[in-house]
Amino acid sequence: MASRTCQGGVTTPESNIFEKYLNRGTVFQDKSVLTSSYVPPILKHRDSQINDIANILSPLLNGEGASNVLLWGNTGTGKTVTAKYLGNQLKTILECEREGILINYIYVNCQTADTHYGVLYGISTHLYSKEEVDTGIAPPPTGWSLDRVHQALKKRLGDSKRVTVIILDEMDMFITKSGDDALYSIMKLNESDSPHGGKDIQSPPRVSIIGIANDISFVDLLDSRVKSRFSNEKVHFTPYITDNLQDILSQRAKLAFREGAIDDSVINLCASTEARVGGDARKAIEILRISGEIADRIGEKSINTDIVKKAYNAIERDYVTESIRALPAQSKHILMSVALNAEAGIERQTTGDVYETYQQLCRKTGLSPLSQRRVTDLISEMDTQGLVNARVRSFGRGGRTKEIALALPNITNVKNVLECDEFLSSMNGFKVKHQTTLV
């Protein structure tokens, strides 16, 4: 084989597998602006939310505590980025204009730190130096009692003479997992100890909490002690419409792509598609990134609408696989029953058809079958997730039935993912045996 010598004197084969990638062009100029950690210098179409929150937080500029506030809205509507953006703005104005007032702006993602201890520890990591961590003064990642961490944080916040904003992102998840006692204890970080509860702290720490959640209904389920501290200030993040997403995507695309690599038709396609299904800016930005990666891979100098469609197919496949894998065993059996019925040519499946196959399948795999009523509920859940379509159909004299179909085009793919399940892996050779219900 022909060989050549590199500068360092190492001999390499002529046809290195990576050579073709070395000088390949790219549509990207700065891909990092398409990542979720990037905070844009200007947030478009969030003026009203930004003004409302700034107004609530404004007492901080005088070194006073501010109210707690709850930001809520669908996924990808800019809640996290707005909270981070306001943190940057506050830091800048305090540095430039209000010397002497210091602020702790603490961001904790409760999905990552999803226990009571985890969230307190997450807060503590912003308040102690490396030296204090090394010498055991700071709370460790595990091992102290909750009360000890709580007291340590309270003292630290009180001593620091700073006002503190704690952002609890994905707060609904935290409460679902850890209950509202945990939230109550965090809210009490800004209160003096009661006369019965040990030492009185002269000036209580000034702590405000910005809670972030998708669904506001969890507030109704909170204990009244917590609710009363949280329910006054709420800011809703509405889903973006097509025009909003066009502006957001254009702003991002200018920084992310080389000149001429993307045009308005591509941006409009992403914006209108996402506006139709919930106005999620994250997904729209992700589609731009994946489209760019596909363009690079196939050697195109610019992104066209065909590439965007490929990006959508790729993202849908991932979503479907993930959602099926995350289903509980019972739902997986029900989904498999719908897939098997469809494969056996039962086009208009009733709940009865699905239930019959499901029972036979459970016998084969050893799973205890649920009642038909429970199976109907699980079918409705999968309908909401977009895995099946369940339509109520009327037939003569006021009769009604539910017609169920797989919402996913490729039955084989669905079956392949389901067969990875512990129970369903033992269904090999199972065949549907029953009569089609006539509707």
Ligand X SMILES: Nc1ncnc2c1ncn2[C@@H]1O[C@H](COP(=O)(O)OP(=O)(O)OP(=O)(O)O)[C@@H](O)[C@H]1O
Q: Return residues touching ligand X (CB under 6 A).
A: 36, 40, 43-46, 75-81, 214, 237, 248, 281-282, 285
Please report whether residue 80 would count as binding Mg ion according to CB under 5 A: yes
Q: Catalogue the E-assigned strands of 197-298.
A: 206-213, 234-237
Q: Which residue type does 352 have?
A: G
Q: Which residue number, 28 or 72, has a Cβ lying nearer to Mg ion?
A: 72
Binding site partner of 46, from ligand X, Mg ion, none, Cβ cut-off 5-8 A by kind = ligand X
**CB of 280 vs ligand X, minimal distance in Å:** 7
- Contact, 229 vs 265, CB < 8 A? no
**CB of 85 vs Mg ion, minimal distance in Å:** 12
**CB of 34 vs ligand X, minimal distance in Å:** 8
- Residue 67 contacts by C-beta under 8 Å, 6 or more apart in sequence? 56, 208, 232, 233
**How many chain residues are in contact with Mg ion, going by CB under 5 A?**
1
Phi and psi at 83, nearest 5°, equal -60, -40
CB atoms within 10 A of CB 309: 14
- Contact, 338 vs 389, CB < 8 A? no
- Give the separation between CA 226 and CA 218, rounded to whole angstroms: 12
Q: Which residue number, 10 or 42, has a Cβ lying nearer to ligand X?
A: 42
- Give the separation between CA 187 and CA 222, rounded to whole angstroms: 13
**CB of 316 vs ligand X, minimal distance in Å:** 18
Q: Which residue number, 80 or 350, has a Cβ lying nearer to Mg ion?
A: 80
**CB of 8 vs Mg ion, minimal distance in Å:** 47
CA angle 137, 138, 143 (to 5 degrees): 100
Binding site partner of 401, from Mg ion, ligand X, none, Cβ cut-off 5-8 A by kind = none
Phi and psi at 222, nearest 5°, equal -70, 150
Question: Measured between alpha carbons, how far apart are the two ends of the chain, in Å?
Answer: 70
Q: Which residue number, 110 or 346, has a Cβ lying nearer to ligand X?
A: 110
Q: Catalogue the E-assigned strands of 365-420.
A: 388-395, 399-406
Q: Which two tokens stand for residue 163?
A: 């006002």
**CB of 248 vs ligand X, minimal distance in Å:** 4
Q: Which residue number, 44 or 310, has a Cβ lying nearer to ligand X?
A: 44
Q: Which two tokens stand for residue 423?
A: 């129970």
Q: Which two tokens stand for residue 32?
A: 């990092």
Which residue lies nearest Mg ion, judged by its C-beta? 80
Binding site partner of 222, from ligand X, Mg ion, none, Cβ cut-off 5-8 A by kind = none
- Which of the stretches 76-84, 279-287, 328-336, 404-412 binds Mg ion when contact is defined by CB under 5 A? 76-84
Q: Which residue number, 34 or 340, has a Cβ lying nearer to ligand X?
A: 34
Binding site partner of 214, from ligand X, Mg ion, none, Cβ cut-off 5-8 A by kind = ligand X
Binding site partner of 76, from ligand X, Mg ion, none, Cβ cut-off 5-8 A by kind = ligand X
Q: Which residue number, 191 or 247, has a Cβ lying nearer to ligand X?
A: 247
| CB crowding 69-105: b at 16 or more within 10 Å, else e | bbbbbeebbbbbbbbbbbbeebeeebeeeeeebebbb
Which residue lies nearest ligand X, judged by its C-beta? 78
The residues of the shown chain that bind Mg ion, judged by CB under 5 A, are 80
